[in-house]
């Protein structure tokens, strides 16, 4: 079983602060996705990265895929209470089935007003 | 479009009881899957299907059965519930199972087994 480690597990910050969430594996990803999940709902896709070194921006969110395609990060600038939620990374491994996503354990983010 | 729908929203079972979690999608997606979500463990794949009549096992298939008779529906059956199956269950669909494809998740079923 491939493992995807996310850190930190919990993060509580004040509105306006910046933060970074990390997703790491010892194996190479074919692609990696970031999802956000709110209480009582299913995860919703934020972004998919597929190329080593790739950087994608979604408003105040910046996603980076590591050069070796073993890690990824999510950076939020000037966090707002609406960013509160569970952030999950999910990867397709280069040696595995393209039909099976492996999810990380998630980072629970709370942004205080 | 309703997207992915799941019923029931909540369910309490006694050990040994059986039940079926329903999942339906109206996006004509070929690929559907079931996950369970436990605290601190993210989502783990139970079973998946790449089209009507085709299913396969994921990471944690024991104790669960699936079938796919239509493109729209993908029910998950618990034959004899155990406390270890207490979890939140999510159904998801995507247009194909490829690396790039967005998975659309249902709202989840929260199951408690006593």
Q: Tell me the per-residue pLDDT of B52-61, one tens digit each, with 9 for 90 and over.
A: 999 999 989 9
The per-residue pLDDT for B102 is: 83
Asked if A103's CB is within 8 angstroms of B43's CB, the reply is: yes
The per-residue pLDDT for B74 is: 98
Distance CA B25, CA B21 (A): 14
The per-residue pLDDT for B47 is: 95
Distance CA A47, CA A60 (A): 13
- Any B CB within 8 A of A55 CB: no
Determine the distance in angstroms separating the CA of B80 from the nearest CA of chain A, rounded to an integer: 26
Determine the distance in angstroms separating the CA of B18 from the nearest CA of chain A, rounded to an integer: 24
Q: In which residue ranges of chain B is pLDDT below 70?
A: 1, 97-100
Asked if B102's CB is within 8 angstroms of A43's CB, the reply is: no
- Identify any residues that bridge with B90 across adjacent strands, giving them in sequence order: B35
Going along A8-84, which residue ranges are E strands?
A: 10-14, 19-24, 29-37, 44-49, 55-58, 61-65, 71-76
CA atoms within 13 A on the CB side of A62: 11
Which among A99, A59, A17 is positioned nearest to B30, based on CA atoms? Answer: A99
The per-residue pLDDT for B43 is: 93
The per-residue pLDDT for A29 is: 86
| Interface subset of A 58-87, CB within 8 angstroms of B | none
Determine the distance in angstroms separating the CA of A66 from the nearest CA of chain B, rounded to an integer: 17
Chain A positions in Cβ-Cβ contact with residue B34 (cut-off 8 Å): none
Determine the distance in angstroms separating the CA of A42 from the nearest CA of chain B, rounded to an integer: 5
- Any B CB within 8 A of A95 CB: no
Asked if A106's CB is within 8 angstroms of B4's CB, the reply is: no
Chain A with chain B: Cβ pairs closer than 8 A: 60
- Show Cβ contacts of residue A39 under 8 Å, excluding neighbours closer than 6 positions: none
The per-residue pLDDT for A2 is: 63
The per-residue pLDDT for B100 is: 65
- Any B CB within 8 A of A51 CB: no
Asked if B98's CB is within 8 angstroms of A98's CB, the reply is: yes
- Any B CB within 8 A of A4 CB: yes
Q: Is B85 helix (H, G, I), strand (E, B) or coil?
A: helix
- Show Cβ contacts of residue B63 under 8 Å, excluding neighbours closer than 6 positions: B78, B79, B80, B82, B84, B85
Q: In which residue ranges of chain A is pLDDT below 50?
A: none
């Amino acid at each position: 079983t491939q493992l995807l480690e996310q850190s930190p597990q919990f993060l509580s910050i004040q509105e306006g602060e910046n933060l970074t969430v990390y997703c790491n594996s010892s194996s190479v990803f074919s692609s990696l996705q970031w999802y956000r999940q709110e209480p009582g709902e299913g995860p919703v896709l934020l972004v998919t990265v597929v190329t080593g070194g790739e950087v994608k921006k979604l408003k105040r969110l910046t996603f980076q895929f590591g050069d070796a395609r073993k890690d990824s990060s999510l950076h939020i600038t000037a966090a707002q209470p609406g960013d509160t939620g569970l952030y999950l990374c999910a990867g397709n491994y280069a040696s595995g089935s393209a039909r099976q996503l492996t999810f990380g354990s998630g980072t629970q983010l709370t942004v205080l007003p | 479009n309703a997207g992915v729908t799941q019923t029931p929203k909540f369910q309490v079972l006694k050990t040994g009881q059986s039940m079926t979690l329903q999942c339906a999608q109206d996006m004509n997606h070929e690929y559907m899957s079931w996950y369970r979500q436990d605290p601190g463990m993210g989502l783990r794949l139970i079973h998946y299907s790449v089209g009507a009549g085709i299913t396969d096992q994921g990471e944690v298939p024991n104790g669960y059965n699936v079938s796919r008779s239509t493109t729209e529906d993908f029910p998950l059956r618990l034959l004899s519930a155990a406390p270890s199956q207490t979890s939140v269950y999510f159904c998801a669909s995507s247009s194909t199972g490829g690396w790039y494809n967005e998975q659309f998740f249902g709202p989840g079923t929260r199951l408690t087994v006593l």
